[in-house]
Amino acid sequence: MADNTGTADIQEHAGTAGEDGVRRRDFINIAAVGAAGIGGIATLVPLISQMAPSADVLAESSTEIDISAIKPGQAIKGVFRKQPVFIRNLTTEEIAKANAVDVSSLRDPQSLEERTKPGKENWLITMGVCTHLGCVPLGAGEGEVKGEFGGYYCPCHGSVYDTAARIRKGPAPKNLEVPVYEFSSDTVVKIG
């Protein structure tokens, strides 16, 4: 053997195979390195998962918003998971405009019906986070630009959303995300 793996007497003792043909040294070597390896890999679990959202961050992942003051054609910006959420009371024209579009022609095909709750089609509730790179689109605030499709317009890279907050133009790949929500009552919506 070219490698120096120990002094000659130890070499002879540990290096001889037992009756079963397994050398003691090989067994100890594989067992020790294997145990250390598994232990080392197990250490990675806490080291990696400590970076995931912590309990207090996750605890904030549900919020209740009063929508009684939002008149048709108006919208408000709420806060959900420290991100803006748009709650919009659509006018009948806006609903008609959204339904007039051929769904199959869209980049992210979805109808207004699929993006709202049954019987509450005037309430369009979406995240205020552009699906391109996360900017806050304009259009929810009073007097903000709504873009050429009457919904939302992202000033960062020019994505345009329609009255169902569906992507119509620009680099964003998807419609504005509809968060999980339910109506706690006629005037309160619980998001998350």
Partner 1 sequence: MSFPWANHYEPKHPLMQWMDEKLPLPRFVYNAIGAGYPVPRNLNYFWNFGVLAGFCLVLQIVTGVILAMHYAPNALIAFDSTEHIMRDVNWGWLMRYAHANGASAFFVVVYLHIFRGFFFGSYKAPREMIWLLGVVIFLLMMATAFMGYVLPWGQMSFWGAKVITGLFGAIPLVGEPLQQWLLGGFAPDNAALNRFFSLHFLLPFVIAAVVILHIWALHIPGSSNPTGVEVKTESDTVPFHPYYTAKDGFGLGVFLILYCAMLFFLPNALGHPDNYIPANPMATPAHIVPEWYFWPFYAILRAFTFDFLFIPAKLMGVLAMFSSILVWFFLPWLDTSPVRSGHYRPLFRKFFFFGLIPTVLVLGYCGGAPAVEPYVMISQIATAYYFLHFLVILPLVSSIERPEPLPYSITESVLGSDDNADLKPAS
User: Residue 150 CA to chain centroid, in angstroms?
Assistant: 26
To the nearest whole angstrom, how small is the minimum distance from the Cβ of residue 54 to partner 1?
A: 7
Q: How far is the CB of 84 from partner 1 (least distance, A)?
A: 5
Binding mask 41-80 for partner 1 (x = CB under 8 A): -------x--xxxx--x---x---------------x-x-
Q: Which two tokens stand for residue 52?
A: 């995931």
Residues contacting 151, CB < 8 A, separation 6+: 139, 160, 161, 162, 163, 164, 165, 166, 168
Question: Is 13 a catalytic site residue?
Answer: no
What single-letter amino acid sits at 118?
A: P
| Nearest distance in Å: CB 164, partner 1 | 21
For the annotated catalytic residues, the residue numbers are 157
Q: Under the rule (CB under 8 A), what is the footprint of partner 1?
A: 48, 51-54, 57, 61, 77, 79, 81-84, 129, 132-136, 155-158, 170-173
